[in-house]
Structure 1
Amino acid sequence: MTADHPDPVEERYIAAGGQRIRVSIRRGTGVPVVLCNGIGASLEVLDPLVAELDPDTTVIRLDVPGTGGSPVSCAPYGFPYLAWLLGRILTRLGVGVVDVLGLSWGGALAQQFALQNPRRCRRLVIVASGTGMIMIPGHPRVLAKMLTPRRFRDPDYAASIAGDLYGGTARTQGNDVAELIGTQLHAGSKMGYAHQLLAGSVWTSLPTLPAIRQRTLIVAGADDPIIPVVNARIMTRLLPHATLHIHDGGHIALVTNATELAPVIETFLHT
Structure 2
Amino acid sequence: MLPPTRIKCGSKGPNSLSDVMKNAEVSMQQVGGRTLRTATWRLDKPSDHPPVLFFNGIGANIEAVAPLADALPERGFIMFDMPGVGESPDPVVPYTPFTISWTAAQLLDKLGVDEVDVMGISWGGGIAQHFTMQHPGRTRRLVLIATSAGMLMMPGSPKALTKMANPRRYVDADYMIKNFETLYGEGLGKSSGKKGHMSLLKPPSPRGYMYQLLCMLGWTSAPALPFLLRKKTLIMMGDDDAIVPLANGKFLSMLIPDSEMIVMEGGGHLFLLSHKEQSVAAIREFLDSPHTSAEAGEAKAA
Same-fold call, TM cutoff 0.5 = yes
Alignment match of 1:33 (pick from 49, 52, 55)? 52
Which amino acid letter does the alignment assign opposite residue 101 of structure 1? M
Which amino acid letter does the alignment assign opposite residue 220 of structure 2? T
- Gaps of at least 5 residues in structure 1 are 1-6
* Pair 1:198 & 2:214 matched: yes
Alignment match of 2:70 (pick from 51, 75, 80)? 51
**What's the C-alpha RMSD, in Å, of the aligned pairs?**
1.4
CA distance in 2, matches of 1:174, 1:131: 32
Question: Do 1:65 and 1:72's aligned partners in 2 also have CA atoms closer than 8 Å?
Answer: yes
Number of equivalences: 262
% same residue? 38
Question: Do 1:123 and 1:214's aligned partners in 2 also have CA atoms closer than 8 Å?
Answer: yes
* Pair 1:78 & 2:93 matched: no
TM-score (norm 1): 0.92
Shift of 1:8: 5.3
SS at match of 1:169: coil
Question: Do 1:136 and 1:231's aligned partners in 2 also have CA atoms closer than 8 Å?
Answer: yes
Question: Do 1:130 and 1:232's aligned partners in 2 also have CA atoms closer than 8 Å?
Answer: yes
* Pair 1:148 & 2:148 matched: no
Alignment match of 1:92 (pick from 105, 110, 120)? 110
What residue in structure 2 maps to residue 117 of structure 1?
135
Which amino acid letter does the alignment assign opposite residue 73 of structure 1? P
Shift of 1:119: 1.0
- Gaps of at least 5 residues in structure 2 are 1-21, 290-302
Q: Deviations over 1:204-225 (max 9, x none)?
A: 1111111200000000000000
What residue in structure 2 maps to residue 4 of structure 1?
none
CA distance in 1, matches of 2:232, 2:89: 34
* Pair 1:237 & 2:230 matched: no
Question: Do 2:159 and 2:182's aligned partners in 1 also have CA atoms closer than 8 Å?
Answer: no
Alignment match of 1:219 (pick from 219, 236, 244)? 236
Describe how 1:107-186 pairs up with structure 2 within 5 A: 107-170=125-188, 172-184=189-201, 186=202
Shift in CA distance, 140/240, structure 1 to aligned 2, threshold 3 Å: same
Deviates more, 1:9-18 or 1:119-128: 9-18
SS at match of 1:244: strand
CA distance in 2, matches of 1:8, 1:42: 16
TM-score (norm 2): 0.83
What residue in structure 1 maps to residue 123 of structure 2?
105
Shift of 1:258: 1.3
- The list of structure 1 runs, each at least 4 consecutive aligned residues, that deviate by more than 4 angstroms after superposition, is none
Question: Do 2:84 and 2:204's aligned partners in 1 also have CA atoms closer than 8 Å?
Answer: no
Which amino acid letter does the alignment assign opposite residue 24 of structure 1? A
Alignment match of 1:12 (pick from 24, 27, 39)? 27
Q: Deviations over 1:178-215 (max 9, x none)?
A: 4313223x423211111111112221111111120000
CA distance in 2, matches of 1:158, 1:8: 28
Q: Deviations over 1:43-101 (max 9, x none)?
A: 10012322322x12101111011111101101121111111110011111010100011
* Pair 1:207 & 2:223 matched: yes
Deviates more, 1:226-235 or 1:43-52: 43-52
Q: Which has the higher contact order (CA 8 A, sep 6+)?
A: 2
